[in-house]
Chain A
Amino acid sequence: MKLGFYPGCSLQGTSREYNESVKALAPFFDIELIDIEDWNCCGATAAHSVNKDLSLALPTRILALAEKQGMKEIVVPCASCFNRLSVTQYELAEDKELKKKITDTIDMPYEGTVKILNVVQFIDQYIKDKLTEKIVKPFNYKVACYYGCLLVRPHKILKFDRVEDPTSMDELMKMIGSTPIEWGFKTECCGAGLSVSRTDLVAKLSGNIVKDAADRGAESIIVACPMCHSNLDMRRPEINKYLKEDVTVPVIYLTQAIGLAVGADPSKLGLQRHFVKVTTL
């Protein structure tokens, strides 16, 4: 089974381990993920804050490339890339004139036929059914599933999971033997791109998330977004300074947790790359 794959910039840099873990997981389920050739940046937050046309043209080019390369479905692990690609596809489908303008800009044919999957949808569709039988080492920890802002929003376009109280990751974690906690911070903002310019705010926002998870006895926080991950993980020193305590609960990707459960090599899953040390029992 072959599927298209759009890594995006984060997965090449700060969250290499996310990329590694998705790629490491695929072969267990006979899936081959093929990178879109000559892919470009999705524009992320930067493009749509300054230039709407640009913010649509960048994702359109990616989708047009996927079409050209014969891909029917593409997996987009980064929550922000997934959001930008989905929003672009929706806006161009809704507005024919806009579609013409953008396709003229990128000077490529674009139909909007590629199905875009985030990591949870990808697992739901292609892994979930075979997951139980593949488990060799149940991930039997108490976990806090953290969805962040972008994975399930905007609901109008994505129509995926319950927007205010998503449960899709919790369900998957239960399947691999974990106990997801009930908590109030599933979709609270981590501070996102303010990580660089207002680290103090990120320390506060992410700090509240980490603290609630830790207070409720979570042994790890499960994420599916590179931005969330870097804020909860890389900013832990600032967070702990803000909290005035030493919170050591690790933050791992959904794909890493499932990877461990199906017996993937921890180093192939990139577990050694986290700032907050992950110790497996």
Chain B
Amino acid sequence: MSRIGVFICHCGENISATVDCERVAQEAGRLEGVEFATDYKYMCSDPGQTLIKNAIKEHHLDGVVVGSCSPRMHEATFRKTCAEAGLNPYMCEIANLREHVSWVHEKGEATTRKAIQIVTGLISKVQRNKPLNTIKVPVTKCALVIGGGIAGIQTALDIANCGQKVIMIEKSPSIGGHMSQLSETFPTLDCSQCILTPRMVEVAQHPNITLYTYAELDKLEGFVGNFKATIRLKAKSIDYSKCTGCGLCTTKCPNKKIPSEFNEGLGMRTAIYVPFPQAVPNKPVIDKEHCLYYQKGKCKICSKSCPTGAIEYDKPDEFMTIEVGAVVVTTGFNVLKTDFFPEYGYGKYKDVITGLQFERLASASWPTLGEIRRPSDGKIPQKVVFIACCGSRDPAKGIPYCSKICCMYTAKHAMLYQHKVHGGDSTVFYMDIRAGGKNYEEFVRRAIEEDHVNYVRGRVARVYEKDGKLIVKGVDTLLGAEPVEIEADMVVLATAGVASKGAEELAQKMHISYDPYHFFAEAHPKLKPVETNTAGIFLAGACQAPKDIPETVAAASGAAVKVVSLLSQENLVREPIVAVVNRCAPPLFSTCVGCFMCETICPYHAIEHEEIKDRKTGAVIKTIAKINPGLCQGCGTCVSFCRSKSIDLEGYTNEEMYTEVMALLNH
């Protein structure tokens, strides 16, 4: 005979305003197996918890049902309370009387009856509950950071400074990411490279960080605390142990007409190249797609010119397997380009450029040393039009979201232009100015009021070229929807921020979820902003959604703390809510027939094969499914797929759930 305790919380007035809590407790108290039942104003408060603890001890309760808010809110609280009173925490169940009852119904008899029914169901269930013990998993004390932009750099440095080991991989030849391409940064106008490059150097020199550039994740297996990652080290064609980074090879390379990725296609680079002078590591790689030797079998000029004989052609990509306890994904974003905006003539007119290209034009590391000259003829543009929201907030373009950073960088661009081209004229076409952030609004006002940037609220319909000028046709919606036509020398498009190339593929490799725009999805938009749904894999920066530098750095530090708190534990303690394949006496051993349907549908790859062997001969009698408790996330998909009903989810077994449902129906 069970001895169940029932505790009904009023949640202030949240529940008691529509549910007769006293009656719920009274009726529950009359049910079979219930030893004690009461109600209280704030069950989660200290006196409320003490009430539960005392009742457990006094009445020797072997199960508890708390009727309160959602289990997402206080299940952990009440289970801890029960544990403190000596009861197994998994013998405590939460009846959700707030979100499922009081908040969604009017006051009345039916509402109270619903509350009683829910409590009744759980009283039945808890009588079938079995005590469960938490699962302990060992931890590999090393983190993998994927992506070497500012998000990855900050994450790696924070983890490393806490004394934990970090392996960073970056797919391009240098770390630095988009931030290294920027000219100045809002809202302070400090030079992007000046604040970034010292950190890039720190990453390369930190004793706890191992950096692999030109490297990509090939495969990720395992589970929290125990990941096994296979890294593809792309062949650089250069022996870095011999290369001194003198750069002679890059000056001799005959193929000099390759659009530079770092300069967003505005400048050219050679086939053997260092992406930019401040690159880390500051050693070249050979771009095989454009190298004459790789394409035509002849040339080898770089090899002849290298004073240390560091060039090594025809080396294949290498694969390296590493073991890590946690993974942080910081793969960043891209901005739209190509002919996504035919109406704005991008790709047709050389002087219609993206915001990222403008960053290069205005940068001190640009050949003009930061003097703004337009791409087509090198003239200083006297009239520049900036168009905000190019693609963003436009469902017809497939991008309904706000790219968030554009309002600010457009204000910065216009400001930089006004600072650099005295007497120049700049116009910004905008939808709304979204300048939420510390000193952001002030920054935009400064552009408008002090630097006299002309802000026009309205959309641009078309940009076309006439007599050497770019005609920008738009509308001013604040001045009676008057059409506006501006003859510009250069047009800058604040194109939408989109997920980085290959994001979807990477997410699938790691089994993390992503949104329809291929941005990676956090476990909870507010309370778990750097976690993914897969334990041990974290996110930071613009791979989640467009983010500016301060927000990215904050998220990176947040992710680092999560990683450090994970790696600093000897063993990981996990909830025992995992699926289990049943076992029974020989000759059956298990009702599992080994069809492995569960293996095909498990989203976490937690199903393993277990061979049952004859104790004497060692011959395999039967192969059945076995669920790796480290990988299992307790989703229950396998339970519903199992044809022989051989799998049960601990804490939510078929028996427990059917009992609850039957009690609900019979009451």
Contacts and interface: CB of A to CB of B under 8 A. Distances in A.
A184 B462 contact: yes
A68 interface: no
A37 interface: no
Contacts of B609: none
B342 interface: yes
Contacts of B471: 184
A164 B463 CA distance: 11
A209 B536 CA distance: 61
Contacts, number: 25
Interface string A209-228: 00010010000000000000
Interface string A12-48: 0000000000000000000000000000000000000
B464 A183 contact: yes
B396 interface: yes
B396 A184 contact: no
Interface residues of B, number: 12
A60 to B, nearest CB: 26
Contacts of A182: 348, 464-465
Contacts of A184: 462-466, 471, 473
Interface in B290-343: 341-343
Nearest to A183: B464
A160 to B, nearest CB: 14
Given A183-B464, A184-B466, A165 B396 contact: no
Contact of A165 (B342, B465, B466, B473): B342
Given A184-B462, A184-B464, A163 B396 contact: yes
A155 B466 contact: no
Contacts of A165: 342-343
A184 B343 CA distance: 8
Contact of B343 (A164, A183, A212, A215): A164
Interface in A133-185: 155-156, 162-165, 182-185
Interface residues of A, number: 13
Contacts of A212: 466
A155 B466 CA distance: 28
A237 B438 CA distance: 59
Nearest to A215: B466
Contacts of B462: 164, 184, 188
Interface in B134-178: none
A184 B471 CA distance: 9
Nearest to A165: B342
Q: Which residue, of A155, A165, A183, A185, has the highest number of chain B Cβ atoms within 10 A?
A: A165
Nearest to B462: A184
Interface string B448-469: 0000000000000011111000
A164 B342 contact: yes
A156 B396 contact: yes
Contacts of B348: 182
Contact of A155 (B342, B343, B396): B396
Contacts of B464: 182-185
A234 B15 CA distance: 74
Interface in B230-283: none
A237 B542 CA distance: 57
Interface in B373-397: 396
Interface string B14-28: 000000000000000
Contacts of B396: 155-156, 163
Nearest to A184: B464
A204 to B, nearest CB: 11
A155 B395 CA distance: 12
Interface string A114-135: 0000000000000000000000
9 contacts: A162-B342, A164-B342, A164-B462, A182-B464, A184-B462, A184-B463, A184-B465, A184-B466, A184-B473
Ranked 9 nearest A-B pairs via Cβ: A184-B464, A165-B342, A164-B343, A165-B343, A184-B462, A164-B342, A162-B342, A155-B396, A184-B471
